[in-house]
Structure 1
Amino acid sequence: MTSDTSVPVARVRDLPDLLGVIPHLLGFHPEESMVLIVIDNGRIELTARADLGDLQPANHLELMIDRMLLRWPAAGMWLVAYAAEERAGWALLRRGRKHLGDAMIGDPACVSGGRYRVGDCWGPQFDHDPRSSAAAASATLHGLQARPRRGMLAEQLRADPGQAATVEACWFRALQRAMPLDSSAWVRELLGALASALRDPAGLGPDELAWLGLLINHPQARDQAVLSLEPAAADSWVELWSRVVRACPHGTQSQPLAVLALAAWVNGNGALQTVCLEELEAQGVRPGLQDMLEDLNEGIIPPSEWDDLRVRFRDLLEEADAG
């Protein structure tokens, strides 16, 4: 998973600062993870995380590193492992340091059991308190949360089981409301409802959320909505579509989840984007946006390129309409 840091949120002066800001860049405190930080011209361009187990097979870590350096060929990289068993963390760190060579920035570090070592597994241990660093405090002030565990991201996408009857009733009313709409009306309704909802996502009722959740299933309406996503509004989009996902009955969440994943990516929240994609895989559905989202991840495309991608997406839609 990735987190773009196109807006400065903290000044990292030393390793304790780096360890303090990592949970805020990811959105949660990592466990059994390798964190790879791409630094170019003194700026953190990308923070990526992978499970230690996924990187243990031969060449998996090395290929991940190569993909990042292909994207930022002049950059350097800092590696931090989080492992209950230090040996597992250091085994991967040694492979990463060997593969990076001169592109390695600073000494690798391994966090284990509330303490960390730097450089190698024989060095002294230091207390690990990520919340105490100035960088962590700055990230918090900028609104970057650090949840205690990754699973909390998935939990925030799930509806309250006690509200199931209300959710179903709202969805049924939305279906009845949509029955007389023609294709152009679906587009107008979605764009109008979306513009209104973004002004106060927290103030929406269950019927309004269900209405958005239904309208986004119309392909032309969805495409026009996606084109209206401005980077400056991405935070509001994340809040809104998180609420919409929770307001949709099970089995109807795929399109809202895909839109939320896109908004999360534009907002630099790679952790939430990845969790959305995992939820889609678990549900066994592939909405139209999913291929694009996976291509963005495979190509390690930073959110800063969304404006250019949006222009190209609009051109493709216009060509399709003309044809």
Structure 2
Amino acid sequence: MSAASDLTHAITIRKLADVVGIVPYLLGFHPSKSLVAVVIDDEKLKGVVRLDLTQDSAEMAERTAHLVKVLEGNHIHEVLLVGYGPGSSVTPMMDAARGAVHGAGIVIVEAIRVDDGRYWSYICTDIACCPPEGVPVDPSCSAPAAAAVVAGRHAFPDRAALAATLDPPQELDQGRAQSVTREACSKAKEASKAGGGWFAESVERVVAALDRVQAGDDLDPEAVAWLGVCLTAKPVRDMAMTYVQQYDIATHLRLWTEVTRMVQPAFAAAPATLLAFAAMCRGDGPLASIALERALSANPRYSLALLLIEGLMVGLSPTEVLARGWSELADDITAQVRECPSAAWPLLPEGW
């Protein structure tokens, strides 16, 4: 479930137009061919769950069962359902979702379909407020949408546009990036053979990068290359997560977005997973989702990314996924490296 933790203090839902206006900002993009469950408690946003529409009955049952599992797992008692698209596409899955959610004892406060600047209710039969031709709505004019913009949220035209924010920058010199990465790999191999303080030096590079980004500076290709190499060591990557208690989430998001975009593709799994972790800490499920897809495109078996995906699907926080706090995690990592220094040596991708 994508949480709305950084928006709840600023946004109050009072009418259906408010829901239509805020959903794109909670998802990070304007939905189409989607069914969205919006969780509202005491007029405050709590989160959203989005499903792709399907006409296949087996897939429909599977997706609506997943929706119920997420809602139950988060102890949700009331939900508002929003379908996006023409009636022929939305209604079959809306009916299936309503049946599954109602069967689980969860109250559906409203169910609507949104298409072409209008919405229709599946529940209200009063033509005075819900006429057959639908109710005109302009999402961009709603107060919640304005509040989301002020809070720093964006709504891209579609999910592909959101995913493209992690593409390499056009100005990136790929030749130089590859060259400095190979140089960093060569030095890392030498350091591994010599033993010594690889772990401490790698963690220092992570801290230095956080400091630079927090100060508003960009990373140079050498710094990005070294981070990519250092983070192949799982204890270094895990230690980077613990700094969520020392640097604000915005700094983590900027850093790991920059590294994910600029690092050589073979090294993208760790920084992309750290970006997903930071997004989950902020309650930004859409960004976490595309970051995890990026991580798994680099390494389909990357265990931490797979673990975070499971947590994201059922609405768990990062601390719940890891089953420990940050201080405890840092202590465990330090003890592990002290006992077995080679555990923190880089695990370079094949060919590097």
Q: What whole-Å deviation, never above 9, does each CA across 1:50-93 have from its counterpart, x for those lacking one?
A: 2112885342243123213322335211110111x322212222
Structure 2 unaligned blocks of 5 or more: 124-129, 341-352
Provide the rounded CA distance (Å) in 1 between the counterparts of 2:248 and 2:308: 19
Q: Following TM superposition, by how much is the alpha carbon of 1:307 offset from its aligned partner in structure 2, in angstroms?
A: 9.2
Is residue 111 of structure 1 aligned with residue 114 of structure 2?
Answer: yes
Deviates more, 1:50-59 or 1:307-316: 307-316
| TM-score, normalised relative to structure 2 | 0.80
Q: What whole-Å deviation, never above 9, does each CA across 1:81-109 have from its counterpart, x for those lacking one?
A: 111x3222122222222333363343211
Is residue 125 of structure 1 aligned with residue 128 of structure 2?
Answer: no
Contact persistence 1:261–1:272 (CA under 8 A) = yes
Provide the rounded CA distance (Å) in 2 between the counterparts of 1:125 and 1:31: 18
Q: What whole-Å deviation, never above 9, does each CA across 1:212-257 have from its counterpart, x for those lacking one?
A: 1111111221222222223962221111111111221222212222
- What's 2:199 paired with? 187
Provide the rounded CA distance (Å) in 2 between the counterparts of 1:178 and 1:320: 20
Q: Following TM superposition, by how much is the alpha carbon of 1:305 offset from its aligned partner in structure 2, in angstroms?
A: 4.9
- What's 2:165 paired with? 156
Q: What whole-Å deviation, never above 9, does each CA across 1:167-225 have from its counterpart, x for those lacking one?
A: 11221232244344356633222322222222342422121122111111112212222
Aligned partner of residue 182 in structure 2, secondary structure: helix
Provide the rounded CA distance (Å) in 2 between the counterparts of 1:17 and 1:99: 25
Identity %: 25
Deviates more, 1:58-67 or 1:260-269: 58-67
Amino acid at match of 2:72: L
Amino acid at match of 2:112: A
Provide the rounded CA distance (Å) in 1 between the counterparts of 2:307 and 2:314: 10
Is residue 226 of structure 1 aligned with residue 241 of structure 2?
Answer: yes
Q: Following TM superposition, by how much is the alpha carbon of 1:47 offset from its aligned partner in structure 2, in angstroms?
A: 0.9
Provide the rounded CA distance (Å) in 2 between the counterparts of 1:300 and 1:197: 30
Deviates more, 1:297-306 or 1:86-95: 297-306
Is residue 250 of structure 1 aligned with residue 251 of structure 2?
Answer: no
Contact persistence 1:24–1:146 (CA under 8 A) = yes
| TM-score, normalised relative to structure 1 | 0.87
Contact persistence 1:33–1:51 (CA under 8 A) = yes
Provide the rounded CA distance (Å) in 1 between the counterparts of 2:299 and 2:319: 30
Structure 1 unaligned blocks of 5 or more: none
Q: Following TM superposition, by how much is the alpha carbon of 1:283 offset from its aligned partner in structure 2, in angstroms?
A: 3.8
Q: 1:114 to 1:185 in 2, by over 3 A?
A: farther
Q: 1:203 to 1:298 in 2, by over 3 A?
A: closer
Q: 1:281 to 1:196 in 2, by over 3 A?
A: closer
Pairwise CA RMSD of aligned residues?
2.9
Q: Following TM superposition, by how much is the alpha carbon of 1:314 offset from its aligned partner in structure 2, in angstroms?
A: 5.0
Provide the rounded CA distance (Å) in 2 between the counterparts of 1:240 and 1:232: 11
Provide the rounded CA distance (Å) in 2 between the counterparts of 1:231 and 1:133: 36
Q: 1:45 to 1:283 in 2, by over 3 A?
A: same
